[in-house]
Amino acid sequence: MPSYQAPIRDLRFVYHELLDADRTLSVLPGFEETSPELVDAILEEGAKLFEQVIHPLNQSGDMQGCSFQSGEVTTPEGFRDAYRAYTEGGWCSLAADPELGGQGLPETISFMLEEMLTSANVSFSLYPGLTRGAISAINLHADDALKARYLPKMVEGVWSGTMCLTESQAGSDLGLVRTRATPRADGSYSITGTKIFITGGEQDLTQNIIHLVLARLPDAPPGVRGISLFLVPKFLPDDNNEPAHRNGVSCGSIEQKMGIKASSTCVINFDNAQGFLVGPENRGLACMFTMMNAERLAIGIQGLGLGEIAYQNAVAYARERLQGRAASGSTAVEPNADPLLVHPDIRRMLLTARAYNEGARAVAVWTATNIDLSHRHPDAARRSEAEDMVALITPVIKACFSDLGYETATHCQQVLGGHGYIREWGMEQFVRDARIAQIYEGTNGVQALDLVRRKLFIHGGRLPSRFFQLLADYAAQQRENQPLQPYLTPFIEALELLRELTEWVVQQGTADPDQLGAAATDYLRIFALTTFAWMWVRMIAVSLDKLDQGEGDAGFYRTKIQTGRFFLGRLLPQVQGLNLAVRSGSALLMEMREADF
């Protein structure tokens, strides 16, 4: 059976030492009491719950799955008790507004806990995860009456939330949505239509389920400009705000899936269900993007979480499994084979997993600090800069982290050989669970298009310009740091390549839109690898300084430096080949006739 231990030491390193988040966040209004001791205590207590209560349900939940009968969904055995422990411990309300019953802590802490929860049990994580996104959208766009009625119980976790976008004919192209919204005399709306792929659309964990639904008003213009957003509860609350009357909402079926089997993925039917407008008419997609962007970041973290647990179990196996002799000669007399860790190719796969996981963790926590800065910094210019960083990096995190999560899981499965293919060892579940992250909440191809078609161009190219300048400023600051130069040089070269390629992509894409689509996926990977390189150089710099000062755990810092060397020397060079692929242009993709496929 697989095991999990939360990477608290590395999370502390990133938060306290790499990003100095204690200083950055404690000066923000409302975060003055977020001490280092408080952060560490929250991480430790969260780890206990995730390791001891929620993770033991991961494999059994996958085997049992959700069941569906007469419109009702039953989650796997143990999920209801675990969810009760999660909500009663206040874990779903950490970063929520205190006025709504939340604890008002930084999003950065919530991000770190999200990684641990997705490692422990990704199916379980999806139930509270969607609710957090729904809370954000309602809080930002709904009127005061809706917020007062629905948000406190969603923050408490006794009511949950969903995101209802997809229809059978409308996947990534939401302009094809057909669900109808008809005005009622009392100011509410009748919602009629069917949504598919609704995570947590029906379950037995919460008293009520609050659906956020995209639908069209009778006089709505065509396409995405004619979509409105509605809050549609499963149960309509009474005067005491308790679930009272069943709304016209029902679950038609649940999907039989490749992975995340303990998460209910539902077909939800709306039959003249009473709904309430959220935000302006025909501006629903813009309002829903508040939730969509939050979920895209969460799905990126999901890839990281699965990569981490896959790595931990692959390392444990490689230490114990005896197979073959070391090529350089074994010094052991007995037994007659060496551990897998002596073999270079095993180390290649494990180091690849570790380097990607630790790089992603640093980027994720840095992004979370920018979310907090964008919400609370007293300087409007600083808020704007942080908001730009989050907007730019969101498609990169969603696409790259989920790609790497799947790649890492398959590498780690390969380390186990035949046992990696057997259910008992758990690794095949990680591979299956990781695959969906590349697909839902906007496929990774869509994320890449968002980066090259939108984020590179909006505000006159301000977003990438600000980001590249941030990285260039760091490189300039470290020019005199002699011990860092062997690591700084490949990062600078990658940054220069990315800046030049960005100019080329923008120029070519302006003349030929197909060039953007052809470049998108490979360009995003280059962008991500360069961002990882920036974080790895920073982590190496901190580790070198700690070793020089004789502070902390020397073994931890030496390992950090060695992992960073591997990333910069073995993984970062991918940018060279990807650069050539991008510059090969769109003709290689578009010149073949459709009939020849």
For the stretch 575-581, contacts whose Cβ atoms lie closer than 8 Å and that sit 24 or more positions apart, written own/partner, are 575/494, 575/497, 575/498, 575/526, 575/529, 575/530, 576/497, 578/522, 578/523, 578/525, 578/526, 579/497, 579/501, 579/526, 581/522
35: closest CA among 63, 54, 16? 16
The C-alpha atoms of residue 498 and residue 496 are separated, in whole angstroms, by 5
Yes or no: say if 138 and 163 are a contact pair by the CB < 8 Å rule. Answer: no
The C-alpha atoms of residue 87 and residue 135 are separated, in whole angstroms, by 15
C-alpha dist (Å) from residue 170 to 174, 192, 266: 5, 16, 16
308: closest CA among 8, 79, 1? 8
Yes or no: say if 68 and 137 are a contact pair by the CB < 8 Å rule. Answer: no
Yes or no: say if 530 and 494 are a contact pair by the CB < 8 Å rule. Answer: yes
CB burial of residue 180 (10 Å; 0-12, 13-18, 19+)? middle
Q: Which two structure tokens, joined as six digits, stand for 179?
A: 């669900």
Pairing mode of beta strands 228-233, 208-215: antiparallel
Pairing mode of beta strands 189-199, 208-215: unpaired
Catalytic residue among 107, 115, 202, 441: 441
Beta-carbon contacts of residue 386 (< 8 Å; ≥ 6 apart): 370, 371, 373, 374, 377
C-alpha dist (Å) from residue 513 to 329, 506, 508, 527: 57, 10, 8, 20
Q: How many residues does the chain have?
A: 597
441 is catalytic: yes
Helix (H) or strand (E) holding 72: strand 72-74
78: left (phi > 0), else alpha (psi -120 to 50), else beta?
Answer: left
Catalytic positions, written as ranges: 441
